[in-house]
Structure 1
Amino acid sequence: MSDKKLLLNLYWHMHQPDYRDQVSGEYVLPWTYLHALKDYSDMAFHLEQNPNARVTFNFVPILVEQLQDYAEQSRIGQWRDPLLRLLSSPDLDHITDADCQLIVDSCFKAHHEKMLSPFPHYQRLLHLYELVEPIMKSGQFHYLSAQFKADLLVWYHLAWTGEGLRRKSKVIQRLMKKGLLFTLEDRVALVDVLSETLQNILPRYKALAAKGQIELTTTPYYHPILPLLIDLNSTQDAMPDAPLPKSPNYPDGHARAIAHVEAAKVFHEKVFGQKSIGMWPAEGAVSHAALSLLAEQDVAWAATGQGVLANSLKELGLEHELAKDYLYQPYRVTNGQQDIVCFFRDDQLSDKIGFEYSKQYASEAVHDFIQSLEAIHANSDEDTTPVVSVILDGENAWEYYPYNGYYFLHELYQALSRHPLIQMTTFSDIVALQQSQALPQPKLLEDICAGSWVHGTFSTWIGEPAKNRAWDLLCEAKRQYDQHVHKLSVSAREKCQQQLSVCESSDWFWWFGDYNNAQSVTSFDKLYRRNLSNLYHLLGLVPPDNLSQSISHGGGNSENAGTMRRGTS
């Protein structure tokens, strides 16, 4: 048997958009801190429990900024997140109707099968609410007692704790065992545990990186789609017939793209004490211009989707290379002066973790994953070293797994780290091996077809009426920004630039579309228009009337609630 090893890049992408109202500082949606308690905590826990495992984590700067903000809120005990403020409120008898509505609207938002049904007391709260929901709709928000609201707030936060936290925290265990009639003392004890967890998230990842167990990377600061900022027409590389926004291009988009990349690099090094050698472009979105920009900013490597590579090879007339080994190697993209190494995601293996393995026993899922890697190893040429990149969302998948994916991840890391033919590694390790000539130099990819990790296209963010309208609203706001921002003071200009950056995030465009859940679409639609309106206000302008009109209504039933997409359709 050959002693050649398969090199596995397991890459977990961590991202949430900015959920703060930039004017008030209040959090509009709670997803950053909830994923911190459940997923960012658990993902660190698994590496701490499996010291021989080696992976890469990607933290988007705007997520890290919010994690720092929550940690600071917890230190001083002044919450700007309404749910955390209500959880610690000493008087739930006299809260406002709006707060009552927020509790019942928010505290059943979880995957019911895996996060609500396992807890009989939480289920009972849902059944009670379903009985009185018609009364609530008539405006009788205080029909539910303060005790009901206290119990619901506690159970919601208990359901959003990670399995590692549940196994370590005596407070969490005691509250789960108690089940009901939670007191203010109980709620304060829970808030203390949540506060400690939030404060420790980033230090835990820094410690893992300092030990060399993980690589940490970044993304352009507010998670914009770089190729679309640079050139909206790049949409048609992979979708030649796609309709485009009315605006011919995003004004001064190339400079905005550079600003996001530069800010991300500086912020990442400041927070983690290490430079980000490579970068996951938001949504794996690349084009030749975007990769050239990254190379010019001294980014050594980037990663994207399998569909982008397939489309690029076809465009170059190299269909014959779409054979067994084309995916399992890095490529080099050049602008003639700077090069960047590009890795491509194995869509099938990545999507199995994201969508399929949650439906199987952990041992069966891990066995299938290992067998798939063994088959790639066995089918590779004797003189090649297969490099497999498995890249996916590191936060949203786990609520669909039993026990937040605890058994799957525990067994997966153990199996991978012990396997004689598989070496868990990182992207920067592979680049270093190529530079030292321990591995062959990456093959030149002379051009790249613009696209993302989702289907190899930009269809999730542009090319249909609602998404195009959202782009037109952003382009018009940017034109107004360019005309008026120079008239403001330095501090006012900085606030406007920050608000503009928030509006440039990819997330708003992700959610527009009839295939997404109506409730999620409504939340993100309102927040996007609120952000654009805030930009106008900061510029000293009256927001246009069209920002009071919904962009998209949703109504579909996307897989995994629309928080994730498969790489292939």
Structure 2
Amino acid sequence: MPTAKQTTKTVPPLKVCILWHMHQPDYRDPISGQTLLPWTWLHGIKDYGEMLATVAETGARVTVNLVPSLLEQLERYVAGEDRDRWLEIAAQSPQALTPAERQFMVRQFFSVNEDTQIRANRRYHQLFLQRGAIPEETAADFSDQDLLDLQVWFLLAWTGSHLRRKSRLVADLLQQGENFSAEQKQELLKLCNQELNKVLETHRQLEEQGLIEISVTPYAHPILPLLCNLQTAQEPSPGLPLPAAAFRFPEDARLQIREGFKTAARLFGERPRGMWPAEGAVSVEAARLLREEGALWAATDEEILARSLDTGLGNRSLLYRIYDFEGLPLLFRDRELSDRIGFLYATWQTEEAVADLLRRLRQIADTAPGGTVAIILDGENCWERYPDNGYPFLRDFYQALQAEPRLELLRIKDALDQVETVPLARLAAGSWIRADFTTWIGHPEENLAWELLAQTRRDIIADEVTRALEKPDQPLSDLVRELLRAEGSDWFWWYGDEHVTAQADIFDRLFRLHLEGLYQLRQLPVPGRLQQAIKPVLKKATGFEPTACFTPQIDGRVGDYFEWLAAGRIDLATGGAMYSSRANLESLYFGYDDDHLYFRINEPELLKRLCRDNGFFEIRISSKQLYHLRYSFADNSLTILNESEVVGSGEAASGQVLELAAPLAALQIKVGESINLTCHAVRDGRENGRWPAEGHAGLCYRGRTLDENNWSV
């Protein structure tokens, strides 16, 4: 008679496929040849090699998706061919900087995570507070030593966990903290360049060792379905306003795909490769091009699968399969797991975050034994919000995955070898964001950009793309390559109201410069419309200022109609990629009199749900110093802290609305002073909500001058 052990059926493990997407557009001005933004170099120091070092240390097997426009920039940096404006200013002696360059430094060299890098380092934070809310007005107050310290701290802030632990130089500079020398800065720059020079070779080595699979994105990260046919945007969004110009160039989409694979073959060797289409954007026409160009597999978001299946995804086990659409294997990312890593776990304790992720994976293993779960997300930007650049989380997560017998960590190509794909009869069009294309088309700014691109292509391109496709062994001409770069999605990402960055004007200018470059390559006059900005000048936040000083009653009630009538308003719900399940604050109302700053939020129940009794809501105000206006729902109290020191208290009440009154004396705010602010919901010691999602809002305390300016007969 068989024993119980003999009759136990072995349950196949859940295949866990993690894809890290590494992506930067081409930041080089095609006219001047100067690189206008440094993010490829900086992420090369902090993230690209860093992610591989953790893989090598733990023996994890993952897929790394690389965008060719990123790879080409890394090549140029290694060859010394990039003239990067930011790095040139960082390398200069402060004494040699012009007043404009000093202003540039003071404005831009705090472009790091404020919580994990600026506030966490005393001297860097001191310089940040010295800058204040209007850097153009304070740059002249920075001494040469201040600027030298700022140069070094900006570089130090972009060193990752592995470099900080293995480099004695970096460790010594972090400990020293201030009064750096020019020689130390040059040593640090040399070290950073050495680290950057290893990135491409390390990718080659780890793929040869079988630890990573390298997949790619079409050459310049274009939205393939929109290149194939702009009308596709209306499939998931009927009635969406489209550009006046038609744009239907599937041959461009094909060349983008082909050049993506060619770039990977040149750098990492010829082999079949999968492809993460830019932003997970797919359509029937785009999928057919991917299959025809030899994609080993492709991937997109779970909502695309839900819209492709007649039954939707009411049965979640349907998500954990690899599908086949007309011969193209397709994976669909688990949105919840991917977004938890990308947007939520950064403020959790490492042990708690890893345990939560493992628990969720075990639940999937129970409901879909032997299935395949795809975790796909940005591999660069989320780590700046994690402690120690995400290293403790990734290390423990990789190790826990490999120690769990019910889970198997695999590269996508390996999972594909082990499963039978499931036929998919229909493929919905859309992207990983809302399963539509509205991030890149539909807004007047986006539509104007498409019209300019379409007109430029009609003016400049004859049969060059067709000839490039007919001669795949020949290198692309400068004209065709410039067209592909102009078709990248990144320029359209920053148009419209959805995303906010301090460098939006540079993205706008780069897009128009790529179009201008096409005319110059043809030696044709550049149309005047390309000299006109598409993106309006960035404002910190939409909304309006108070119309008069006023003194509300702090009682948590919507009282007299006139009580908050004069209030200003800051719109909090704009800008930044948010965790998709997160509720959102809409507005922050504010005002003041001679003695207090007043704030009102109309969604106290949302905040109470996010904070609970053991948490708190706070408004962080910074000008020359940083203050926390911390409200506790448990005892209805408002405490004011300067860093961690209690410096005062205010009035607070929560009911229909949340009202706060903070004494100006405790905040040391003077008339005419501009301040930056952010709002935070904190629970169990971790951030559970932040508004605005990126950057900060701003206001100016004008005191009674506000009444004087608004006075009229």
Same fold (TM over 0.5): yes
Partner in structure 2 of residue 60 of structure 1: 67
Contact 1:247 1:475 in 2 (8 A): yes
Aligned partner of 2:257 among 243, 257, 261? 261
Aligned partner of 1:102 among 101, 104, 112? 104
Q: What is the correspondence of 1:470-481 to structure 2 with a 5 Å cutoff?
A: 470-481=449-460
Partner in structure 2 of residue 17 of structure 1: 25
For structure 1, list consecutive stretches of 5 or more residues without a partner in the other structure. 434-438
Root-mean-square deviation (CA, aligned residues, Å) is 2.4
Determine if the alignment matches structure 1 residue 86 to structure 2 residue 89: yes
**1:195 alignment partner, SS class:** helix
Distance in 2 (CA, whole Å) between partners of 1:530 and 1:159 is: 31
Deviation (angstroms), 1:567: 9.3
**2:375 alignment partner, SS class:** strand
Distance in 2 (CA, whole Å) between partners of 1:132 and 1:379 is: 55
Distance in 2 (CA, whole Å) between partners of 1:560 and 1:416 is: 36
Specify the code of the residue in structure 1 equivalent to 2:452: L
Poorly superposed stretches of 4+, deviation over 3 Å: 131-136, 483-486, 553-561, 563-569
Specify the code of the residue in structure 2 equivalent to 1:562: G
**1:540 alignment partner, SS class:** coil
Specify the code of the residue in structure 2 equivalent to 1:103: M
Contact 1:16 1:62 in 2 (8 A): yes
Distance in 1 (CA, whole Å) between partners of 2:361 and 2:79 is: 43
CA pair 25-567 structure 1, distance change in 2 beyond 3 A: farther
Aligned partner of 1:244 among 242, 245, 261? 242
Partner in structure 1 of residue 334 of structure 2: 346
Distance in 1 (CA, whole Å) between partners of 2:412 and 2:391 is: 25
Aligned partner of 1:31 among 39, 42, 59? 39
Q: Residue deviations 1:532-565, cap 9 Å, x none?
A: 2222222222332322333234656888963677
Deviation (angstroms), 1:524: 1.5
Q: Residue deviations 1:35-72, cap 9 Å, x none?
A: 11111121011112101x11100011110111111122
Aligned partner of 1:179 among 177, 180, 201? 177
Aligned partner of 1:270 among 247, 266, 272? 266
Partner in structure 1 of residue 378 of structure 2: 393
TM-score normalised per structure 1? 0.89
240-249 or 214-223, larger mean C-alpha shift: 240-249
Aligned partner of 2:153 among 147, 152, 155? 155
Contact 2:149 2:180 in 1 (8 A): yes
Aligned partner of 1:195 among 193, 196, 200? 193
Partner in structure 1 of residue 415 of structure 2: 430
Specify the code of the residue in structure 2 equivalent to 1:403: D
Deviation (angstroms), 1:411: 0.9
Larger Rg: 2
Deviation (angstroms), 1:198: 0.6
Distance in 2 (CA, whole Å) between partners of 1:558 and 1:305 is: 27
Determine if the alignment matches structure 1 residue 288 to structure 2 residue 284: yes
**1:20 alignment partner, SS class:** coil
CA pair 415-561 structure 1, distance change in 2 beyond 3 A: farther
Q: What is the correspondence of 1:294-333 to structure 2 with a 5 Å cutoff?
A: 294-313=290-309, 318-319=310-311, 322-333=314-325
- Tell me the percent identity: 37
CA pair 501-564 structure 1, distance change in 2 beyond 3 A: farther
CA pair 402-355 structure 1, distance change in 2 beyond 3 A: same
CA pair 319-485 structure 1, distance change in 2 beyond 3 A: closer
**1:449 alignment partner, SS class:** coil
Specify the code of the residue in structure 2 equivalent to 1:300: L
Distance in 1 (CA, whole Å) between partners of 2:213 and 2:117 is: 30
Distance in 2 (CA, whole Å) between partners of 1:94 and 1:320 is: 63
CA pair 320-171 structure 1, distance change in 2 beyond 3 A: closer
Determine if the alignment matches structure 1 residue 369 to structure 2 residue 369: no
Q: Residue deviations 1:100-149, cap 9 Å, x none?
A: 2321222011110112111101111112222984635xxxx655332222
Partner in structure 1 of residue 609 of structure 2: none
Contact 1:217 1:276 in 2 (8 A): no
CA pair 527-97 structure 1, distance change in 2 beyond 3 A: farther
Specify the code of the residue in structure 2 equivalent to 1:327: L
Q: Residue deviations 1:185-213, cap 9 Å, x none?
A: 10111011101101011111211111101
CA pair 118-561 structure 1, distance change in 2 beyond 3 A: farther
**1:29 alignment partner, SS class:** coil
Distance in 1 (CA, whole Å) between partners of 2:578 and 2:312 is: 32
Specify the code of the residue in structure 2 equivalent to 1:340: L
Distance in 1 (CA, whole Å) between partners of 2:535 and 2:572 is: 15
**1:222 alignment partner, SS class:** coil
Distance in 2 (CA, whole Å) between partners of 1:232 and 1:523 is: 25
CA pair 276-170 structure 1, distance change in 2 beyond 3 A: farther
Distance in 2 (CA, whole Å) between partners of 1:559 and 1:215 is: 38
Contact 2:306 2:312 in 1 (8 A): no
Determine if the alignment matches structure 1 residue 414 to structure 2 residue 399: yes
Partner in structure 1 of residue 521 of structure 2: 538
CA pair 561-173 structure 1, distance change in 2 beyond 3 A: farther
Partner in structure 1 of residue 480 of structure 2: 497
Partner in structure 2 of residue 70 of structure 1: 77
Specify the code of the residue in structure 2 equivalent to 1:294: L
TM-score normalised per structure 2? 0.72
CA pair 209-559 structure 1, distance change in 2 beyond 3 A: farther
Partner in structure 2 of residue 436 of structure 1: none
Determine if the alignment matches structure 1 residue 457 to structure 2 residue 436: yes
Tell me which protein shows more strand as a share of its residues. 2
Distance in 2 (CA, whole Å) between partners of 1:244 and 1:363 is: 48
Deviation (angstroms), 1:298: 1.3
Deviation (angstroms), 1:262: 1.3
CA pair 274-558 structure 1, distance change in 2 beyond 3 A: farther
Q: Residue deviations 1:58-101, cap 9 Å, x none?
A: 0111101111111222xxxx761122223333x33122233223
Q: Residue deviations 1:353-391, cap 9 Å, x none?
A: 0111012111111111101111111122xxx52110000
Distance in 2 (CA, whole Å) between partners of 1:529 and 1:196 is: 34
Deviation (angstroms), 1:246: 0.8
CA pair 240-155 structure 1, distance change in 2 beyond 3 A: same
Contact 1:304 1:342 in 2 (8 A): yes
Determine if the alignment matches structure 1 residue 511 to structure 2 residue 498: no
Distance in 2 (CA, whole Å) between partners of 1:131 and 1:407 is: 34
For structure 2, list consecutive stretches of 5 or more residues without a partner in the other structure. 1-7, 466-473, 542-570, 584-713
**1:8 alignment partner, SS class:** strand
Tell me which protein shows more helix as a share of its residues. 1
Number of matched pairs: 536
Contact 2:24 2:39 in 1 (8 A): yes
Specify the code of the residue in structure 2 equivalent to 1:532: L
Partner in structure 1 of residue 534 of structure 2: 551
Work out which structure has the larger RCO, using CA pairs closer than 8 Å and 6 or more positions apart in sequence.
1
Distance in 2 (CA, whole Å) between partners of 1:174 and 1:111 is: 22
Partner in structure 1 of residue 642 of structure 2: none
Partner in structure 1 of residue 116 of structure 2: 114
Distance in 2 (CA, whole Å) between partners of 1:356 and 1:134 is: 35
